A and B are shown apart, each in its own frame.
Chain A
Amino acid sequence: QQQVKQSPQSLIVQKGGISIINCAYENTAFDYFPWYQQFPGKGPALLIAIRPDVSEKKEGRFTISFNKSAKQFSLHIMDSQPGDSATYFCAAYNSGGSNYKLTFGKGTLLTVNP
């Protein structure tokens, strides 16, 4: 059972445009939602994360929007650049659980055309 559903699988955006990646979760016990960025041949790297006590978190051109009632969160990349081309993973974590693990979405391959 996939507990975090990520869409789209792939996304092509023009330079300067806005990239939007969406995730939905089922387990209401999740209380930490990170996004990871992975370049080809590299390991995933933590990009930005949010907790459900806020509806939005912004770091530079990257913003997480969080909708607790809908159990959805999304990553917005403003002014997308070719250097943002990578695979993006959303994830969710239950800090009150006992299994110490993140649940990942299946990833979105973002291509930003120059």
Chain B
Amino acid sequence: DAGITQSPRHKVTETGTPVTLRCHQTENHRYMYWYRQDPGHGLRLIHYSYGVKDTDKGEVSDGYSVSRSKTEDFLLTLESATSSQTSVYFCAISVGTGSETQYFGPGTRLLVL
């Protein structure tokens, strides 16, 4: 599992509330990613980070923000959760000198009512 943990693993929340998901890695890898997985859409990149305080948007970043204040933690925040953000969220890291080999965490299942 490349030392990746995600918390919480399951969450139920209400529309309009803020939600923060945490990804933690134990091996100080530089690149970290947040994806969402939905039926029929596969894996879609939300945001990624290439270092502490260095982040950039993916293809579905609207309504999400991220922060990375230290190497091991990458936080994903839904500023005001909507039902369309009900999904399974995966964190991933890249290992090695490049960033092409990604390893995924166990996922967080989020339900927005």
For B50, the chain A residues whose CB sits under 8 A away are 100
Q: Which of A34, A36, A100 has the most CB of B within 10 A?
A: A100
In-complex Cβ contact of B90 among A6, A32, A43, A99 (8 A): A43
In-complex Cβ contact of A101 among B48, B90, B101, B104 (8 A): B48
Q: Is the CB of A44 within 8 A of B43?
A: yes
Q: Is the CB of B101 within 8 A of A49?
A: yes
In-complex Cβ contact of A43 among B41, B56, B94, B105 (8 A): B105
For A105, the chain B residues whose CB sits under 8 A away are 42
B99 part of interface (Cβ distance < 8 Å): yes
Q: Is the CB of A46 within 8 A of B90?
A: no
Within 8 A of B (CB), among A46-88: 46, 49
Q: Which of B40, B100, B106 has the most CB of A within 10 A?
A: B100
Q: Name the distance in Å between A43's Cβ and chain B's nearest Cβ.
A: 3
Q: Is the CB of B107 within 8 A of A46?
A: no
For B74, the chain A residues whose CB sits under 8 A away are none
For A, the interface residue count at a CB cutoff of 8 angstroms equals 22
Q: Name the distance in Å between A57's Cβ and chain B's nearest Cβ.
A: 15
A41–B10 CA distance with the chains assembled, in angstroms: 11
Using known A-B contacts A46-B103, A95-B98, determine if residue A101 contacts B43 with beta carbons closer than 8 Å.
no
A100–B104 CA distance with the chains assembled, in angstroms: 15
For B104, the chain A residues whose CB sits under 8 A away are 36, 43-45
Q: Name the distance in Å between A110's Cβ and chain B's nearest Cβ.
A: 14
For B102, the chain A residues whose CB sits under 8 A away are 46, 102
13 A-B pairs besides A36-B104, A43-B105, A101-B58 with CB distance below 8 A are A34-B100, A42-B106, A42-B107, A44-B43, A45-B104, A46-B101, A46-B102, A93-B99, A93-B100, A100-B94, A100-B99, A104-B44, A105-B42
What are 8 of the A-B contact pairs (CB < 8 Å)?
Answer: A41-B107, A42-B107, A45-B104, A46-B103, A95-B100, A100-B50, A101-B45, A104-B42
Residue ranges of B at the interface with A (Cβ–Cβ < 8 Å): 1, 31, 33, 40-45, 48, 50, 56, 58, 90, 92, 94, 98-107
